[in-house]
Amino acid sequence: MVSAQQNPAEVGGGESREEILQAAAELFMEFGYAATSIDAVAQRLGATKGRIYHHYRSKADLFFDVQVAAMTRLTDEIDPIARGGGKAVERLSAMALRHTQILLKELPMQKVAVQGLERHLLEASAAAKRLRSVVKMRDDYEQMFVEVIDDGIRERDFVDLPARMLSKPFFGALNWATVWYSQRRLQSDAAIDDIAHTLAAYALRGLLKDSNNEAARATPLFQYHLG
């Protein structure tokens, strides 16, 4: 088990669930699920193990809640954009950008969410119900994108292929950032936004029927580079 001796936060015994989840996400990201323990989370926070158990009975509970928190964060940000007005290409460009910004700026929690639950917990029958609920959250989140892509196909801005199939490489291009991207201590928000704009524009171009699509070029996402 890891001991998580790096820079424990001074939280004065008042650890909130949010602080615990953030510390757990950092450890899951750095060391993996198997090598992370409740002890390690407590040490990262400078707290006692009992304080963690006050909120969470097991490491699996922590892991599930990291997933739920990550998906809730994404859904709360993306749902209003998906349901907003305007052409599909405009909505999807904004959705892709915000999705990627959250991935990069909140990397530990989002990376754990992208890695998935199944390989760690699928065999635990006690976790089956919670696993299904998290998978449903992911499916519902992906469905928002599928529906907007389908709108864009009907508006003849996106290539005429099944929307769900198109969503897979689209998400792959965005989510792969959690594999190769590493947070840098002195990296500015502007530098992170530049990466997010580049990735989102790249992913969106792959859906366009015409690379010179006027509606796409008029979006803030593309204007960021054209300007």
SS3 sequence of 130-144:
HHHHHHHHHHHHHHH
Tokens matching residue 88 = 């599909």
Which domain covers residue 129, as residue numbers?
A: 60-226
Q: What is the mean pLDDT of residues 66-86?
A: 96
126, containing H or E segment? none
Q: What is the mean pLDDT of residues 157-185?
A: 95
Same domain (yes/no): 141, 219: yes
Same domain (yes/no): 42, 121: no
Tokens matching residue 159 = 């290539």
Same domain (yes/no): 15, 90: no
Q: What is the pLDDT of residue 185?
A: 79
pLDDT at 84 over 50: yes
Same domain (yes/no): 130, 185: yes
CATH number, domain at 29?
A: 1.10.10.60
Same domain (yes/no): 108, 168: yes
pLDDT band at 148 (very low <50, low <70, confident <90, very high): very high
Does residue 78 contact residue 95 with C-beta atoms inside 8 Å?
A: yes
End-of-domain residue from the set 15, 37, 57: 57
**pTM for the structure as a whole:** 0.88
Distance CA 34, CA 107 (A): 19
Domain count of the fold of the chain: 2
Give the closest residue to 44 by CA, choosing from 65, 64, 25, 69.
25
Does residue 95 contact residue 82 with C-beta atoms inside 8 Å?
A: yes
Does residue 152 contact residue 93 with C-beta atoms inside 8 Å?
A: no
Q: What is the pLDDT of residue 38?
A: 95
Count of Cβ atoms closer than 10 Å to residue 46 Cβ = 15
Does residue 177 contact residue 115 with C-beta atoms inside 8 Å?
A: no
Count of Cβ atoms closer than 10 Å to residue 170 Cβ = 22
Same domain (yes/no): 89, 120: yes
Q: What is the mean pLDDT of residues 53-70?
A: 91
Q: What is the pLDDT of residue 135?
A: 87
